[in-house]
């Protein structure tokens, strides 16, 4: 238990800060569509060319092979500089890539990893189905072996960025007779294959973040199976672990910045009570305190989670504990922003992209649903962390 | 890079503190003896002053264990007095107190909490004290810093927390208050007691929810109860993380002006919330005098007021971020 920043960490932070100050694009990221894809790929290429891509990826796959601590510093500096996140590349960079490194064949790695890192390939994740959300092992999308191909028929839902993706991490049932965890395979699906239909789901904020995907006898080469036929559950658990690691860290740290922006906002906007500035109102200051301190809890909890991972003593439900707190704090902060902005909040400012207050307010509702509802997360905490009876 | 997991030495501190905590369950006398004998009180004192040099982290980890058994918060007095005397040798000369004297209990010191956390009282005139037997001096904690208080008139008042005797005293404080680093330390150590309390209440509640059956099932299997316990676990996790975060920053000599206040706010709310929910988890037995939950609740309220409430420090955090005066 200690805080130390080594000389190399200090130097790395300085270098990152200086580069970001020069290079962060001033135009906001578009919410969705081809423009969002172009924006994300362009940013990733810029990072790649300057040597900032794959900070903790192994050198053999084109990464810099730096320790997790430097990856964390990078995320901290990106948040500080208001730099774009990975956007639609999050799947490729944060879990498809690492999963291929762990379980992919040499050919699969050679084909995909360099393109992922250099911002040429977008990946989405085909795990959830209408009848298999929280109960993932219940997937029904089936794949039948036909010669050297799998023939896939079924449906996926809640797939982020499916409309923008080139490839998909697809989970299919390859042995319907095996026990439910044993008949699953993890395959690389080319999203341009005949028989795939992507129907975007328009969210209440107006953007098409998620899609439904229908598969009608889609042919996928058997060579695209990752980690062996019927061994997909194990591979999927590795994927989810990568996803639950530090993937959300930027979102968590970003709330610290937004909470501070609210304090600044309160100095200039009128108090909701109509008397004086918002900051002069004791009740508003108490609400700001809750927002600021809430965002700080996320920071501390993230460092605690990462410390446990590094020390090899992860808790059984660390990511669920953090996810619950994250959703509570995120929703509180964005609700408070609406309160402070008063009638200004009635003006749609979604042209500000990811910096839009109204869009972010509506977005905050999905933080207690996506990635497992808050209720499922509470079940996980109760069952796995507190070991309560089921 | 933050490392918020105890290392080997720190795990040994936790083990020692658990032994002391065990002794404390037999009563204050046994607890104090074990605390002195084991060197627990001197954990955070620098080696040059005869301590173990385990820093704020060591003290914090030990106090979590003591908080869990509801050891008296007066245990903070010798620790804080030792830090104050080490920082201000002139005070040692003026009072005759020494670092060793306070840490061995040969020179008992009480813990005084300023009314200024609550009102705009004139500095150094009105204090609330957790007495130590025969103590002439108290270490006094106010927003301005730490001081030594020459205890003059004392009037015992009945405590809401019946396990901790309280007195209202007048006295004169010596010298300028030492802060703000020592205030951060005091807040972080109080937060550790709150974390320990919350952890213990959660443990007790989880055990009860597994053992108590209704409708032929343990009540912990019902989602309404399970989710309440999960929320308590989230509160505890946040409190623990913020308290550890503050302690490592103190040891690294980084003053960010936020971490200690955040820890006190988050741990304070966690202790009160977890205890309140804990009474609900216990159902009927939870509101009886026979059940210990009310004792945890009373302690949670005492700690919440000690060294400034969550409201007080929340206000402070916002004022400093907004650059508003005091």
Q: Do B233 and A300 count as a contact with CB atoms less than 8 A apart? A: no
What tokens were used for A340? Answer: 């402070």
Task: Give the gap in angstroms from C-alpha B291 to the nearest C-alpha of chain A.
Answer: 22
Task: Give the gap in angstroms from C-alpha A213 to the nearest C-alpha of chain B.
Answer: 33
A266/B contact by beta carbon, under 8 A? yes
* pLDDT more than 70, % of chain A: 98
Instruction: Determine the residue of chain B that is closest to A313 in CA distance.
Output: B5
| C-beta of residue B212 within 8 angstroms of C-beta of residue B225 | no
In angstroms, rounded to a whole number, what is the distance separating the alpha carbons of residues A298 and A326? Answer: 7
| C-beta of residue B83 within 8 angstroms of C-beta of residue B49 | no
**Helix, strand counts (H, E) of chain B:** 11, 8
| C-beta of residue A117 within 8 angstroms of C-beta of residue A59 | no
Instruction: Give the model confidence (pLDDT) of A257-274 as tens digits.
Output: 899 999 999 999 999 888
Phi and psi (nearest 5°) for A149? Answer: -130, 160
Instruction: Report the pLDDT value the prediction gives residue A354, as an integer from 0 to 100.
Output: 74
Instruction: Report the pLDDT value the prediction gives residue B157, as an integer from 0 to 100.
Output: 84
pLDDT of B183 over the 80 cut: yes
In angstroms, rounded to a whole number, what is the distance separating the alpha carbons of residues A66 and B192? Answer: 34
Question: Which of the two residues, B165 and A116, has the higher pLDDT score?
Answer: A116
Give me the catalytic one of A76, A77, A121, A243.
A243
Chain A residues with CB inside 8 Å of B311's CB?
286
Task: Give the gap in angstroms from C-alpha B221 to the nearest C-alpha of chain A.
Answer: 5
Q: Which H, E and C letters describe A123-153, residue by residue?
A: EEEECCECCECCCHHHCCCEEEEECCEEEEE
In angstroms, rounded to a whole number, what is the distance separating the alpha carbons of residues B32 and B40? Answer: 10
- Residue B287 DSSP class: G
CA pseudo-torsion sign A208, A213, A218, A222? positive
Q: Do B230 and A286 count as a contact with CB atoms less than 8 A apart? A: no
Q: Find where tokens 């040597």 sit.
A: A51
| C-beta of residue A354 within 8 angstroms of C-beta of residue B185 | no
Task: Give the gap in angstroms from C-alpha A372 to the nearest C-alpha of chain B.
Answer: 15
Q: Do B220 and A388 count as a contact with CB atoms less than 8 A apart? A: yes
- Residue B122 DSSP class: P
B153/A contact by beta carbon, under 8 A? no
Nearest to B315 among A289, A321, A381 (CB): A289
CA triple B143-B265-A331, angle to 5 deg = 140
Q: Do B322 and A289 count as a contact with CB atoms less than 8 A apart? A: no
H or E element in which residue B214 lies = strand B213-214
pLDDT of A246 over the 70 cut: no
Q: What is the mean pLDDT of residues B104-120?
A: 81
Nearest to B226 among A3, A310, A378 (CB): A378
Nearest to B4 among A307, A324, A386 (CB): A307
Instruction: Report the pLDDT value the prediction gives residue A148, as an integer from 0 to 100.
Output: 97
A351/B contact by beta carbon, under 8 A? no
| C-beta of residue A214 within 8 angstroms of C-beta of residue A189 | no
Q: Do A1 and B252 count as a contact with CB atoms less than 8 A apart? A: no
The DSSP bridge pattern shows strands B137-142 and B109-114 to be parallel
* Chain B residues 196-225 with CB within 8 Å of chain A: 202, 206, 209-210, 217-218, 220-221, 223
Instruction: Give the model confidence (pLDDT) of B139-157 as tens digits.
Output: 999 888 999 999 887 788 8
CA distances from B229 to A366, B28, B205 (A): 23, 31, 8
E-assigned strand segments in B107-212: 109-114, 127-130, 137-142, 145-157, 166-178
What does the longest C-alpha to C-alpha distance in chain B come to?
Answer: 68
Q: Which of B36, B33, B31, B38 is nearest to B14 (CA)?
A: B38
- Helix A318-341 and helix B223-252: axis angle, to 10°? 90
Burial class (CB in 10 A: 0-12, 13-18, 19+), A20: middle
In angstroms, rounded to a whole number, what is the distance separating the alpha carbons of residues A349 and B316? Answer: 32
Cis, bond preceding B180 (omega within 30 deg of 0): yes
Provide the residue count of chain A: 390
CA distances from B124 to B115, B142, B184 (A): 9, 9, 19
Q: Find where tokens 């369950």 sit.
A: B25
ipTM value, please give it.
0.95
Task: Give the gap in angstroms from C-alpha B19 to the nearest C-alpha of chain A.
Answer: 21
| C-beta of residue B133 within 8 angstroms of C-beta of residue B143 | no
- Residue B98 DSSP class: -
**SS3 state at B76:** helix
Q: Do A324 and B231 count as a contact with CB atoms less than 8 A apart? A: yes
CA distances from B246 to A2, A66, A299, B232 (A): 10, 27, 12, 21
**Lowest-confidence range among A129-143, B64-78, B121-135?**
B121-135
CB-CB neighbours of B320 under 10 Å: 14
In angstroms, rounded to a whole number, what is the distance separating the alpha carbons of residues A198 and A113? Answer: 25
Instruction: Report the pLDDT value the prediction gives residue B52, as an integer from 0 to 100.
Output: 95
Chain A residues with CB inside 8 Å of B57's CB?
1-2
Q: Locate all alpha helices (DSSP H) within B212-309, ordered by sequence.
A: 223-252, 259-282, 293-305
Q: Is A243 a catalytic residue?
A: yes
Instruction: Determine the residue of chain B that is closest to A381 in CA distance.
Output: B230
Instruction: Determine the residue of chain A that is closest to B262 in CA distance.
Output: A293
B249/A contact by beta carbon, under 8 A? yes
Nearest to B209 among A282, A292, A388 (CB): A388
Instruction: Determine the residue of chain A that is closest to B253 in CA distance.
Output: A3
A263/B contact by beta carbon, under 8 A? yes
- Residue B179 DSSP class: -
What tokens were used for A62? Answer: 């084109």
Instruction: Give the model confidence (pLDDT) of B197-247 as tens digits.
Output: 999 999 999 999 999 999 999 999 999 999 999 999 999 999 999 999 999
What average pLDDT does the structure give for chain A?
Answer: 92
Instruction: Report the pLDDT value the prediction gives residue B113, as an integer from 0 to 100.
Output: 87
Chain A residues with CB inside 8 Å of B240's CB?
304
Please tell me whether the overall predicted TM-score, pTM, comes out greater than 0.90 for this model: yes
Instruction: Report the pLDDT value the prediction gives residue A7, as an integer from 0 to 100.
Output: 93
Nearest to B244 among A1, A310, A378 (CB): A1
| C-beta of residue B281 within 8 angstroms of C-beta of residue B205 | yes
A285/B contact by beta carbon, under 8 A? yes
Q: Do B244 and A301 count as a contact with CB atoms less than 8 A apart? A: no
A340/B contact by beta carbon, under 8 A? no
| C-beta of residue A50 within 8 angstroms of C-beta of residue A20 | no
| C-beta of residue B140 within 8 angstroms of C-beta of residue B183 | no
CA triple A293-B1-A79, angle to 5 deg = 55
pLDDT of B255 over the 90 cut: no
In angstroms, rounded to a whole number, what is the distance separating the alpha carbons of residues A133 and A137? Answer: 9
Q: Do B230 and A379 count as a contact with CB atoms less than 8 A apart? A: yes
Instruction: Determine the residue of chain B that is closest to A73 in CA distance.
Output: B1
Task: Give the gap in angstroms from C-alpha B259 to the nearest C-alpha of chain A.
Answer: 8
Instruction: Give the model confidence (pLDDT) of A108-155 as tens digits.
Output: 999 999 999 999 999 999 999 998 877 788 999 999 999 999 999 999
**Chain B interface test: which of A5, A253, A321, A382 (most B C-beta within 10 Å):** A382
Residue B169, beta-bridge partner list: B127, B154
Task: Give the gap in angstroms from C-alpha B28 to the nearest C-alpha of chain A.
Answer: 30
Instruction: Give the model confidence (pLDDT) of A282-306 as tens digits.
Output: 999 999 999 999 999 999 999 999 8
CA distances from B179 to B3, B83, B113, B183 (A): 26, 11, 15, 6
In angstroms, rounded to a whole number, what is the distance separating the alpha carbons of residues B72 and B63? Answer: 11
Q: Do A296 and B242 count as a contact with CB atoms less than 8 A apart? A: yes
Instruction: Give the model confidence (pLDDT) of A19-77 as tens digits.
Output: 999 999 988 888 888 999 999 999 999 999 999 998 988 998 989 998 888 888 998 89
The domains of chain A, with CATH numbers, are 7-117 (1.10.540.10), 123-228 (2.40.110.10), 248-385 (1.20.140.10)
The domains of chain B, with CATH numbers, are 182-321 (1.20.140.10)
pLDDT of A239 over the 90 cut: no
pLDDT of B71 over the 80 cut: yes
H or E element in which residue B213 lies = strand B213-214
CA distances from A134 to A96, A170, A388, B200 (A): 20, 17, 19, 31
Instruction: Determine the residue of chain B that is closest to A293 in CA distance.
Output: B262
CA triple B91-B97-B102, angle to 5 deg = 120
B242/A contact by beta carbon, under 8 A? yes
Instruction: Give the model confidence (pLDDT) of B260-292 as tens digits.
Output: 999 999 999 999 999 999 999 999 999 999 999
Instruction: Report the pLDDT value the prediction gives residue B131, as an integer from 0 to 100.
Output: 65
**SS3 state at B138:** strand
DSSP string, B289-304: SSSTHHHHHHHHHHHH
* Chain A residues 355-384 with CB within 8 Å of chain B: 375, 377-379, 381-383
Q: Which H, E and C letters describe chain A, residue by residue?
A: CEECCCHHHHHHHHHHHHHHHHHCCCCCCCCCHHHHHHHHHHHHHHHHHCCCCCCCCCHHHCCCCCCHHHHHHHHHHHHHCCCCCCHHHHHHHHHHHHHHHHHCCHHHHHHHHHHHHCCCCCEEEECCECCECCCHHHCCCEEEEECCEEEEEEEEEEEECHHHCCEEEEEEECCCCCCCCCCEEEEEEECCCCCEEEEEECCCCCCCCEEEEEEEEEEEEHHHEECCCCCHHHHHHHHHHHHHCCCCHHHHHHHHHHHHHHHHHHHHCECCCCCCEHHHCHHHHHHHHHHHHHHHHHHHHHHHHHHHHHCCCCCCCHHHHHHHHHHHHHHHHHHHHHHHHHHHHHCCCHHHHHHCHHHHHHHHHHHHCCCCCHHHHHHHHHHHHCCCCC
**Lowest-confidence range among A244-248, A288-292, B61-65, B188-192?**
A244-248
């Amino acid at each position: 238990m200690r805080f130390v920043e080594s000389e190399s960490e200090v130097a790395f932070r300085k270098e990152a800060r200086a580069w970001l100050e020069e290079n962060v694009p001033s135009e906001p990221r578009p919410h969705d569509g081809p423009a969002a894809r172009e924006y994300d790929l362009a940013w990733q290429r810029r990072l790649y060319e300057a040597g900032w891509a794959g900070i903790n990826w192994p050198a053999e796959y084109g990464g810099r092979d730096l320790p997790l601590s430097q990856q964390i510093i990078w995320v901290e500096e990106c948040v500080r500089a208001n730099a774009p996140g990975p956007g639609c590349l999050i799947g490729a960079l944060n879990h498809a890539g690492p999963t291929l490194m762990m379980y992919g064949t040499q050919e699969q790695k050679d084909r995909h990893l360099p393109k992922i890192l250099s911002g040429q390939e977008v990946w989405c994740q085909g795990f959830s189905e209408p009848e298999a959300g929280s109960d993932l092992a219940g997937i029904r999308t089936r794949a039948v072996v036909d010669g050297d191909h799998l023939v896939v028929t079924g449906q996926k839902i809640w797939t982020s960025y499916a409309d923008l993706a080139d490839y998909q991490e697809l989970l299919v049932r390859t042995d319907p007779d095996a026990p439910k965890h044993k008949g699953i395979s993890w395959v690389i699906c080319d999203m341009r294959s005949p028989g795939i239909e992507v129907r975007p789901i328009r969210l209440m904020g107006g953007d098409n973040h998620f899609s439904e995907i229908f598969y009608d006898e889609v042919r996928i080469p058997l060579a695209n199976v990752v980690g062996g036929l019927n061994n997909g559950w194990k591979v999927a658990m590795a994927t989810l672990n990568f996803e639950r690691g530090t993937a959300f860290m930027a979102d968590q740290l970003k709330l610290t910045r937004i909470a501070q922006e609210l304090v600044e906002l309160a100095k200039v906007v009128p108090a909701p009570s109509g008397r004086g500035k918002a900051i002069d109102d004791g009740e508003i200051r108490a609400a700001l305190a809750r927002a600021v301190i809430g965002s700080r809890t996320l920071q501390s909890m993230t460092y605690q989670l990462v410390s446990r991972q590094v020390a090899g003593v992860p808790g059984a439900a660390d990511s669920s504990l953090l996810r619950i707190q994250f959703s509570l704090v995120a929703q509180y902060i964005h609700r408070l922003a609406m309160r402070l902005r008063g009638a200004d909040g009635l003006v749609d400012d979604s042209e500000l992209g990811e910096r839009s207050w109204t869009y972010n307010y509506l977005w905050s509702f999905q933080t207690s649903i996506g990635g497992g509802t808050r209720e499922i997360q509470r079940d996980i905490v109760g069952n796995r962390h507190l070991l309560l009876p089921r | 890079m933050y490392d918020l997991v105890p290392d080997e030495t720190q795990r040994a501190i936790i083990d020692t503190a658990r032994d002391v905590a065990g002794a404390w369950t037999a009563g204050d006398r046994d607890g104090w003896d074990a605390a002195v004998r084991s060197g627990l009180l001197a954990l955070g004192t620098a080696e040059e002053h005869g301590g173990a040099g385990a820093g704020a982290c060591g003290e914090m980890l030990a106090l979590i264990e003591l908080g869990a058994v509801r050891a008296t918060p007066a245990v903070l007095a010798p620790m804080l007095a030792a830090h104050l005397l080490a920082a201000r040798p002139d005070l040692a000369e003026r009072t005759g107190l020494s670092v060793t004297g306070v840490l061995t209990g040969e020179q008992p010191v009480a813990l005084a909490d300023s009314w200024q956390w609550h009102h705009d009282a004139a500095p150094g005139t009105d204090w609330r004290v957790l007495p130590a037997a025969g103590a002439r001096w108290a270490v006094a904690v106010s927003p301005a810093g730490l001081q030594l208080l020459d205890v003059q008139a004392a009037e015992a008042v009945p405590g809401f927390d019946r396990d901790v005797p309280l007195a209202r005293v007048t006295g004169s404080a010596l010298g300028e208050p030492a802060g703000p680093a020592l205030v951060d330390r005091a807040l972080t150590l109080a937060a550790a007691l709150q974390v320990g309390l919350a952890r213990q209440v959660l443990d007790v509640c989880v055990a009860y929810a597994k053992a108590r059956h209704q409708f032929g099932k343990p009540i912990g299997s019902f989602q309404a109860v399970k989710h309440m316990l999960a929320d308590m676990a989230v509160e505890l996790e946040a409190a623990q993380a913020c308290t550890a975060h503050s302690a490592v920053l103190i040891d690294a000599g980084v003053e960010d002006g936020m971490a200690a206040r955040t820890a006190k706010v988050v741990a304070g709310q966690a202790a009160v919330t977890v205890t309140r929910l804990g009474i609900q988890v216990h159902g009927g037995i939870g509101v009886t005098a026979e059940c210990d939950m009310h004792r945890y609740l009373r302690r949670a309220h005492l700690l919440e007021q000690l060294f400034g409430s969550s409201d007080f420090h929340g206000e402070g955090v916002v004022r400093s971020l907004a650059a508003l005066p005091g």
